[in-house]
Amino acid sequence: MSTGNGSFWGNFFLQNRLVSGAIIILIYIAIMSVMAFLLSGYIKKLYLGESNLLDPVSGRIVAFFEKLFGENKDKTMKFREYFLNLLLFNAAAGVMTFLVLYFQNFLPFSAGYSHFTPSLTFNTVTSFLTNTNLQHYSNPLQLTYFSQTFVITGLMFVGAGTGFAASMAFIRGILNDKGFLGNFYHDFLVSIFYLLLPLSLGLTVILLVFGVPETTSSAMVLHVLGGHGTVTIPLGPVATLEGIKNIGTNGGGFYGANAGFPFENPNWFTNLSEFVGYTLIPLASIFSLGRVFNNKGFSNMLYGVVMTVFIFTTFMTFFGEYTGIPALSTLGTLYTGNMLGKETAIGIAQSSIFSTGAVFTSTGAGNSILLAFTPVGILGVMGNLLLNDPIGGVGVGIMNLFMFVIFTTFITSLMVGKLPELMSLKLSSREIKYSTLSLVTHPLLVLIPFGVTMLLPGLIAGFPGTRPDAITSVLYEFGTAAANNGSEIGGFLTNQAYFNYIDGIIMLLGRFLLIGFQLVIADSFSLKSPKVEFGRSINPNSFLYGLMLFTVMILLGVLSFFPILALGPFLSWAHDFSLWIGVVIH
């Protein structure tokens, strides 16, 4: 059954783009799940400190550094010491990179570059230190290659490594009952050399094969046909940065347009690879929980819940973008959905899942411009953001998820007349207190600066007139900082001292306050020994429990923003479906 120009199925998928888009999304989800599942066994070995295939290489490097710094895994720390070392190490990295960035014009490879303003430096350093990677600068135009490599790429490792180390401590807290969380430096080195470096090398190789540049040569200058001046395309160490950017759920990117720029994301395969790259560790960590606690049902339940959130929001975004702008559709032209701000080689389906995926994790990478998304499309993306990125960043994702789990366990246990208990450990008021603090921190960090900023319209003067989109964008701006995500809608000048400092503070609090709270919980857990026998309390593997967890996440996480969403995306959705078509200002 073939027609004149091509096969039947070829035409079918071309003409039924809703179906083909949905199939593409499902393929992405299937591949990401399979890849994560395959990695989970390895991550479990890292969590439990078991020997694995990288021991001969990574083991030696870790041992070398441990010798150098006089630390090793036997120097195990309790909560206070562990968290203090984590903070000190990050502070040191922060100060060092601050100096490099601020004085970048005096350092190598700096021809033609000037230094950053203090506020922008602060913002950039906190942004990359906290695994947020919000960019208030336009990358290759303002950053030297040295800064790109040392500050950006370096901090990408520090941020992700710290996150994974924290999760190792968290899991150790649950598993042991002597009060020890492990050695931070050991955990950090293991995260880097066993996990982040090998995986990002792998991704870098894939990207190199498909033509992503990796060079120290200067920009490419093209003369435009017709002779009206030149176009400068910066080159640089793009592939290495891309590797860790995705694997470490960092986001940001070498180019201002991120993965929307062909040199960062040349084709559908690199798009898929990068997507799998940034969902890999967070999702694999969830699967690995089942192996670590020898309770596959638990990780399956978590996977089911977060995937429900993900599938729902992705399709929301996809349908929003696919439906496009009614005003344009009625013009009667051949209309293909909302292609504004999207790369034609990638298309609507792959842009939608890439954007929601980047917020489902704390990556925040983008291959399309969120500012040009439809309100429904943005709602899908923003739903994830308000949940503090459901599966979060490397390591911290499972800790955030655990906060919701503790909440849910508390309520459901009471509902069946039991005192709450998780992983056979009794939940006392200390754990409830700190999980409440963790879950309250995120909305507070978003809403307080949001409320204040909206009273100062001069700061967001980029929007012509009063528009609901501005509310969406500002809410998103602080949401992305608090969730350590890094994606942005923009639409107003973000590189202002006000936003640079406030975002920086939010990012720091959103990162280290939460890790602190969560490690306190780990500390509590680490002093308790588990009850022998499972299943006498609430069963977290059941469908009902999953349903409750989902409901708690939606009701308390997303819907608490309802009154504000009404004035933002809901209003622009209902209003005229119009988009703000403008220039991205940097």
Q: Choose the stretch contacting another protein; rule: CB under 8 A; options: 21-29, 236-244, 257-265, 423-431.
A: 423-431
Among 410, 476, 492, 580, the residue binding another protein under the rule CB under 8 A is: 410
Q: How far is the CB of 24 from another protein (least distance, A)?
A: 30
Among 53, 566, 581, 585, the residue binding another protein under the rule CB under 8 A is: 566
Asked if 499 touches another protein (CB under 8 A), the answer is no
State which of positions 517-546 bind another protein (CB under 8 A). Answer: 528-533, 535-539, 542, 544-545
Q: How far is the CB of 564 from another protein (least distance, A)?
A: 5
**Tokens 């012509």, located at residue:** 464
Q: Which is nearer to another protein, 395 or 468 (CB)?
A: 468
What's the half-sphere exposure (Cβ side, CA atoms, 13 Å) at 257?
Answer: 16
Asked if 411 touches another protein (CB under 8 A), the answer is yes
Token pair, residue 109, equals 């490879």
Question: How many other CB atoms are there within 10 angstroms of residue 568's CB atom?
Answer: 24
Asked if 439 touches another protein (CB under 8 A), the answer is yes
Asked if 461 touches another protein (CB under 8 A), the answer is no
Round to the nearest angstrom and report the end-to-end CA distance of the chain: 52
- Per DSSP, 182 falls in state B
Q: Which is nearer to another protein, 426 or 586 (CB)?
A: 426
Q: How far is the CB of 476 from another protein (least distance, A)?
A: 13
Q: Which is nearer to another protein, 33 or 413 (CB)?
A: 413
Q: How far is the CB of 433 from another protein (least distance, A)?
A: 5
Q: How far is the CB of 515 from another protein (least distance, A)?
A: 19
State which of positions 441-460 bind another protein (CB under 8 A). Answer: 443-444, 447-448, 450-455, 457
Token pair, residue 170, equals 């968290």
Q: Where are the beta strands (DSSP E) in 229-327?
A: 230-233
Task: Give the strand pairing for 421-422 and 425-426.
Answer: antiparallel
Q: Which is nearer to another protein, 161 or 568 (CB)?
A: 568
The residue type found at 457 is P
Among 68, 221, 331, 416, the residue binding another protein under the rule CB under 8 A is: 416
Asked if 468 touches another protein (CB under 8 A), the answer is yes
Among 18, 22, 328, 571, the residue binding another protein under the rule CB under 8 A is: 571
Q: How far is the CB of 517 from another protein (least distance, A)?
A: 12
Q: Choose the stretch contacting another protein; rule: CB under 8 A; options: 60-68, 279-287, 351-359, 465-473.
A: 465-473
Q: Which is nearer to another protein, 180 or 434 (CB)?
A: 434
Q: Choose the stretch contacting another protein; rule: CB under 8 A; options: 41-49, 384-392, 404-412, 489-497.
A: 404-412
Question: How many other CB atoms are there within 10 angstroms of residue 563's CB atom?
Answer: 9
Among 110, 117, 551, 578, the residue binding another protein under the rule CB under 8 A is: 551
Q: Which is nearer to another protein, 33 or 436 (CB)?
A: 436
Q: Which is nearer to another protein, 220 or 574 (CB)?
A: 574
Q: Which is nearer to another protein, 56 or 563 (CB)?
A: 563
Q: How far is the CB of 577 from another protein (least distance, A)?
A: 10
**Tokens 């290659």, located at residue:** 145
Q: Choose the stretch contacting another protein; rule: CB under 8 A; options: 108-116, 360-368, 389-397, 433-441.
A: 433-441
Among 15, 51, 466, 583, the residue binding another protein under the rule CB under 8 A is: 466
The residue type found at 411 is I
Among 280, 283, 284, 437, the residue binding another protein under the rule CB under 8 A is: 437
- Nearest by Cα to 180 from 311, 77, 33, 332: 77
Among 98, 185, 360, 561, the residue binding another protein under the rule CB under 8 A is: 561
561 CB contacts (<8 Å, ≥6 apart)?
386, 443, 475
Asked if 428 touches another protein (CB under 8 A), the answer is yes
Token pair, residue 285, equals 């960590």
Among 52, 72, 560, 578, the residue binding another protein under the rule CB under 8 A is: 560
- Per DSSP, 74 falls in state T
CA distances from 65 to 60, 61, 71, 156, 185 (A): 9, 6, 8, 19, 9
Token pair, residue 237, equals 């160490």
- Nearest by Cα to 85 from 392, 527, 515: 515
Q: How far is the CB of 494 from another protein (least distance, A)?
A: 17
Q: Which is nearer to another protein, 454 or 584 (CB)?
A: 454
Among 63, 205, 231, 419, the residue binding another protein under the rule CB under 8 A is: 419
The residue type found at 353 is I
Q: Using CA atoms, how far apart are residues 250 and 488, in angstroms rounded to an integer?
A: 14
Answer whether 373's CB lies under 8 Å from 313's CB. no
254 — phi, psi (to 5°)?
-75, -40
Over the range 491-524, which residues count as b (16 or more CB within 10 Å of their CB) and which as e? bbebbbebbbebbbbbbbbbbbebbbbbbbbbbb
Dihedral angle of Cα 487, 492, 498, 501, to the nearest 10 degrees: 20
Environment class of 311 (CB within 10 Å of its CB; exposed 0-12, middle 13-18, buried 19+): middle
CA distances from 437 to 73, 98, 342, 433, 520 (A): 30, 30, 39, 6, 11
State which of positions 45-84 bind another protein (CB under 8 A). Answer: none
Give residue 507's Cα distance to chain centre.
13
Segment holding 306, helix H or strand E:
helix 296-323
Q: Which is nearer to another protein, 370 or 470 (CB)?
A: 470
**Which residue pairs, CB below 8 angstroms and at least 24 apart, start in 95-100?**
97/125, 97/128, 97/129, 97/150, 97/151, 97/154, 97/155, 98/122, 98/125, 100/146, 100/147, 100/150, 100/151
Q: Judged by CB under 8 A, how many residues of this single chain contact another protein?
A: 70
Q: Would you tell me which residues interact with another protein (CB under 8 A)?
A: 407, 410-419, 424, 426-429, 432-433, 436-437, 439-440, 443-444, 447-448, 450-455, 457, 466, 468, 470-471, 528-533, 535-539, 542, 544-545, 547-548, 551-552, 555-556, 559-564, 566-568, 570-571, 574-575
